[in-house]
Structure 1
Amino acid sequence: MTWLVTGGAGYIGSHVVRALVGAGLRAVVVDDLSSGRMAFLPTGVPFARGSILDGDLLMRTMDAHDVTGVIHVAGYKYAGVSVTRPLFTYEQNVTGTAILLAAMQDRGIDRMVFSSSAAVYGTPDTDLVTEGTPKSPQSPYGESKLIGEWLLRDQAVAVGLRHTSLRYFNVVGSGEGGVFDVSPHNLFPLVFEALLDGRTPRINGNDYPTPDGTNVRDYIHVSDLAVSHVAAARRLDAGEPLESAYNLGSGDGASVGEIMSTIAEVTGIPFSPEIAPRRPGDPARIVAGGALAARDLDWRMRHSLREMVESAWQARTG
């Protein structure tokens, strides 16, 4: 049995691949390297370069490696930019997922773990997001992830697809030297690049109704995330029941101010963040619970905030 990991050369995907291999499962990767890197792949894992929009490539890869399940991590993940590139976002995330599901159906592959997003919730009016929190995505990215979940649901009805979707907010840290978040939009790389360039990092708003006035968000370690992807794959292989979706959340979160202070301590680069105006629509606090995932997917927060920062900084700076 082999698991196809789409986007497996990316920051998150490569950690999932390493977790699969570490658990004794076989993996094969399809990635177009638009944001992934060959250097992120572990040695010996088969790789096919290409897009999930290429159904023929997907089916050839499935045939060549006796694929029995798919962990679908590939996607366009920039929520803010998706507002200005909606058609591209839908093509990559919706059309791509439909083509992948069609290839799976054609080859009789009946199990999928989908890397979804807490962006499906939008800005919920609750302190703790649960799987039952109303879905109200506020970007084409969030909408595309919700549609992806609908596609899986409908394929389950139509052809018996067995599946689950994993929703999460901010993924940070590193479990492998040299594998780091390359996104130009996420907080950790933004702060790291500013410090490495001699610039002062910025906080958007410090007058929120939170303990230190800065936004509180979920931050989870990428290795913990990868463990739960593998646990979901194992349950699907064993024919064990799964919920249609799980939140992978910390339950309490961390503030941007806390993160800035921790980064200063870990890097040894003292700084006082510049305070910029609030970004429109930014809620004070969004944190997800993880009780269902803890029950079924071996989910737990194995890393402290300091450990998240330390591993991320070490991976980025070598």
Structure 2
Amino acid sequence: MGKITILDVAQSAGVSVATVDRVLNRRNGVRKVTVERVESAIRQLNYQPDRLAARLARSRDYRFCFVLPTGNNVFMVTLGEEVRAAAERMAPERVVIDMRLTDVFDGHALAHTLDQIGDIYDGVAVVALDHPSVREAISGLTQRGVTVVTLVSDIPGSKRVHYAGIDNTAAGRTAASLLGKFLGSRQGEVGLIAGSLALRDHIERQFGFEQIMTHEFPHLSILPVREGRDDWQRVEEVTTQLMKEHPNLVGLYNAGGGTRGIISALEKAKRERDIVFIAHELTDHARKALIRGTVDAIINQDAGHEVRSAVRVLLAKADNGPLIEAQERIRIDIFLRDNLP
């Protein structure tokens, strides 16, 4: 069988090609019963609209913008590389992808960047800070007809249309289960480091971590969370101070970036063997430290999958096409040194 066309759908549904086009593009003027008949024909025939042809017919490109953090967070640098790869990949399909860097730890700075984007973009993907100014900026974009997707860190309840990232509460619970099981019957204190508690992904990881630690490992004492702004040098200082103040420290969970700093602090203090350390993101530094035994387990999210998912969602919204929810679900990967890819 050849490629299914819009004419095949029209003939199967018993309607005109124009009616099928109105249904595909979510335009008004079609009765509900007719819409259902057309959608049924689309499913039965497995019709896939030629979105590229539609874009060519419009005689203009789609323009998307990714707003990512400044700084030396290795995972975010990788995210930027994936955005550039996506831009190259999508260029032949008349999709332009730009990238802007800003301080996502500063709500007003991030909101200003979003406000300055203007009307030149059809969609925006942003590593979001849960802050009133950022919520308002997202609302302003959507009012101007710009689709907004949150990336890595979410703002539930905002006017974003989709979140491309892992379930961070589940990630925190996973970290606690791993840490508790690695420590076994050992007693002592457990440290928790985050980039910023203004980032929802870090808050959710903290919540999930403390939830499991409190209920399933009551013999371990959780210390108050400390912030390192995902800067590895700052995180190293925080870790060094934490070890000095708490000689009975037996475990560490880094809910954010800057893992390189914790690795350095543990190895300088010669405590990489007696402190169980759970980190996020399979960076080069984390990978080598996992092999050496300084890091005991890594919870990872696929930066490429997240960027591709965000692009697919922005395209689907621009094309008025459907989303495949299962395809956009970002899984949590757990790596030990025995199963490194």
Q: Shorter-chain TM-score: which interval?
A: 0.3 to 0.5
- Structure with the greater alpha carbon radius of gyration: 2
Q: TM-score, normalised by structure 1?
A: 0.41
Compute the TM-score of the two structures, normalised by the length of structure 2: 0.39
Structure with the largest fraction of helix? 2
Q: Relative contact order (C-alpha < 8 Å, sep 6+): which is higher?
A: 1
